Amino acid sequence: MFIEIHGLYKSYGSGESFTQVLNGIDLAIEEGKMCVIQGSSGSGKSTLLNCLGGLEEFEKGSVMIDGNELAGMDQDGLSDFRREYLGFIFQFYNLVPNLTVEENIEVCENLTDEPLDLDDLLLTLGLEEHRHKFPTQLSGGQQQRCAIARALIKNPKLLLCDEPTGALDSKTSKEILILLEEVNRKYNTTMLIVTHNNAICKMVDQVIHIKDGTVGDSYENENPVPASTLEDL
């Protein structure tokens, strides 16, 4: 199993401000699968993603990714792990404004010894003709494509996506989901997508519902539909 999580606990604050966010998460995800994580605001979705990405420490439990145990790993180890294994995509693109599309991607390209081919990635994501533009010269969808390319250039085994279509209109959201689907097929990238959009559940292999810090209803989708057929995004 590519991802195995057992008894994961995470809290914030102390005393009257204490909040238990993750309350014993257990999960298993196979390599190369596309998964959606859903839940109401405050249920722990983004916190779970951050713990998986080594961005937040957790108090108790085990997070095993491709044989790497994150529990007890020091900051240097976590930094090496993120560089080797992870790509992040967020709702807000976090592009460097004074760098071109190509330069934004190269920032992450230089973090790995075995990056994907930049020209091929630009072609796959429809950015070839925009490679010398700055973020302010791009539409929201093009900026998100650039953010995806920046995350993918490292050839990560795991892509963590926190509301990747949350700031986009319906048409652009579908275009981005089609791209993620193509990336998953082409590179066999395992993807975890936090989203409030129920339509996205139809295109993925596994749907995980988080409620009050635990895994509620979770199921595998036997017949995922193509992203191009999704409606009401």
pLDDT value for 105: 95
111/107 Cα distance (integer angstroms): 7
207/209 Cα distance (integer angstroms): 7
CB 186 within 8 A of CB 116: no
- How distant, in Å, are the alpha carbons of 10, 23, 43, 44, 55 from that of 19? 9, 10, 11, 11, 18
pLDDT value for 53: 92
Q: How many helices (H) and strands (E) does the chain have?
A: 6, 10
pLDDT value for 187: 87
pLDDT > 70 fraction of the chain, expressed in percent and rounded: 100
DSSP state of 226: P
Q: Which amino acid is at 65?
A: I
pLDDT value for 7: 97
Render pLDDT for 194-223 as a digit per residue (tens, 0 to 9): 998 889 999 999 999 999 899 988 899 989
The CA angle 60-63-65, to the nearest 5 degrees, is 170
Render pLDDT for 13-23 as a digit per residue (tens, 0 to 9): 988 889 999 99
Average pLDDT, the chain: 91
148/98 Cα distance (integer angstroms): 18
- Going through the chain in order, the beta strands assigned E by DSSP cover 3-12, 19-29, 34-38, 60-65, 68-69, 86-90, 158-162, 190-194, 206-211, 214-220
pLDDT value for 153: 92
156/115 Cα distance (integer angstroms): 9
Other Cβ atoms less than 10 A from the Cβ of 226: the count is 11
3-state SS of the chain: helix, strand, coil percent to 5? 35, 25, 35
Render pLDDT for 114-167 as a digit per residue (tens, 0 to 9): 888 999 889 888 899 999 999 999 999 899 889 989 998 988 999 999 988 888
Q: Where are the domains of the chain?
A: 3-199
Other Cβ atoms less than 10 A from the Cβ of 81: the count is 17
Render pLDDT for 33-77 as a digit per residue (tens, 0 to 9): 999 999 988 889 999 999 999 999 999 999 999 999 999 999 999
User: By three-state DSSP, how is residue 8 classified?
Assistant: strand
Largest CA distance in the chain: 55
CB 148 within 8 A of CB 179: yes
Secondary-structure class of domain 3-199 per CATH:
alpha beta
Render pLDDT for 92-104 as a digit per residue (tens, 0 to 9): 888 999 999 999 9
User: By three-state DSSP, how is residue 161 classified?
Assistant: strand
CB 58 within 8 A of CB 71: yes
